[in-house]
Amino acid sequence: MSRIRLPLAALSLASVSALLLAGCAQSTNASKATGDTSASPSAATGTKPAPFDKGTVKVALVRQSGAGDYFEQWGNGAKAQAKALGIDLTVYDAQADNAKQATDLSSAINSGAQAIIIDHGFPATIQPEIDKAVKKGIKVVVYDVDTPTKGVVSTEQDDASMAKAVLDVMAKNLGKKAKVGYVNVAGYAALDKRDSVWKSAVGANGWQQAFKVGKVTDSTATDNVPLVSAALTQHSDVTGIFAPYDELAKGTVLAVQNKKLQAKVKVFGADVSNADIQNMTAAGSPWVATAGTDPSAVGAAVVRTAALELAGQLNKTSVEFPAVAITQDFLKSKKIQNMDELRAALPELNLSQVSTADWIANVAH
């Protein structure tokens, strides 16, 4: 979803994510950061400021993750950067349970964390706890969460530019006055921003929107297959479908293939991950374009943002992570099969210049 601001992913593109948006098991307890932290950090040359000059700094990561490897990569990037900074990172993950995320956030507030990072979630559910954290003097950094609370640092993908990049490719592929389908869900900040760009593109290109379907669950891709299949039964003459979260796109691709329409219907998604690349480059895949950020790089950059805020050096209330357009033709021409190869081909995906300082050991991806 960004990814997407999901109850899952909810996620993350969504989560998406969904985006936003691959099934994940429910997590019931907080856990110390583990997993792939093999990304190598660049050397820090500057003197560490307080509180990093006094040893380990305690930070909580309160997640609302969802299906797909986007969230795993995001988490791995965050863990790697936390390790490089000497942060004791405790991870909570509600995985599509909004009430649990509120409980997790309450636990994080009471854990003695000096900063809390909130990765996705429904504002209505977690807003009271965000207010409590700020009043308690805890630094709060959110990723893809809308909150009116002053003092909270907001981070996000540039969802509008992400959608525009994909829709520009869609317009070149389909031309004017095409009959199109749409797979999206209202109520998630990132998806709502992508929706605004979609509406503008429909009007600008004179497209006829034949259908809109979609839902976000803890199995978003799988659960959207029957919805898109039913829509395609009624509207098999569409020439393109926009699904602005990679889990929605995966479900759309499966539905198009199940209906044997891949020669006629092109899918345009959002977000990028190893699984997305494999999906796009598979023989006969109708998924022809996406746009995204490197989830590992984003996770790391969010942790760096929290570190700068803790040190009193951020001096801003929001940070955006620019997206890059990626086409099936580009992936195939460069023989790209995974995120490592994509990073090498598109170095702008590595957000090494975002939220950094000379005292930060910057994780490279």
Residues 219/160, Cβ–Cβ less than 8 Å: no
Splitting the chain (365 residues) into consecutive groups of 10 residues, what average pLDDT does each group show?
A: 40 33 35 52 87 95 83 93 97 93 98 97 94 98 93 93 95 98 92 96 98 93 97 98 96 98 97 93 97 92 98 96 92 95 90 92 79
Torsion of CA 139, 141, 146, 148, to 10 degrees: 20
What is the per-residue pLDDT for 69? 77
Helix runs in 39-158, H state only: 69-85, 98-109, 123-135
Tokens (6 digits) for 47: 């003197």
Sheet containing 179-183, strands listed edge to edge, beginning at the edge strand earlier in sequence: 208-213, 179-183, 240-242, 266-268, 287-292, 324-327
| 128-to-149, 189, 292, 325 alpha-carbon distances in Å | 10, 18, 31, 37
Could you tell me the pTM of the whole model? 0.73
Q: From its phi and psi, is residue 297 left (phi > 0), alpha (psi between -120 and 50) or beta?
A: alpha
What is the per-residue pLDDT for 308? 98
Alpha carbon distance 166, 185 (integer Å)? 18
What is the per-residue pLDDT for 238? 98
What is the per-residue pLDDT for 218? 83
What is the per-residue pLDDT for 39? 57
Bridge partners of residue 61, in order along the sequence: 91, 117
Tokens (6 digits) for 319: 């940070």
What is the per-residue pLDDT for 71? 87
Tokens (6 digits) for 304: 């760096």
Alpha carbon distance 275, 108 (integer Å)? 32
- Tokens 């956030």 sit at which residue? 105
Instruction: Output DSSP code: residue 291.
Output: E
Residues 228/255, Cβ–Cβ less than 8 Å: yes
Q: Is 169 helix (H, G, I), strand (E, B) or coil?
A: helix
Residues 141/117, Cβ–Cβ less than 8 Å: yes
Fold of 159-294: Rossmann fold (3.40.50)
Side-chain half-sphere exposure of 20, counting CA atoms within 13 A = 46
Residues 30/39, Cβ–Cβ less than 8 Å: no
Q: Is 293 helix (H, G, I), strand (E, B) or coil?
A: coil
Cβ neighbourhood burial of 257 (10 Å; 0-12, 13-18, 19+): middle
What is the per-residue pLDDT for 43? 80
Tokens (6 digits) for 201: 């593109």
Spans of all domains in the chain: 159-294
Instruction: Output DSSP code: residue 41.
Output: B
Q: Which of 91, 121, 94, 102 is nearest to 2 (CA)?
A: 121
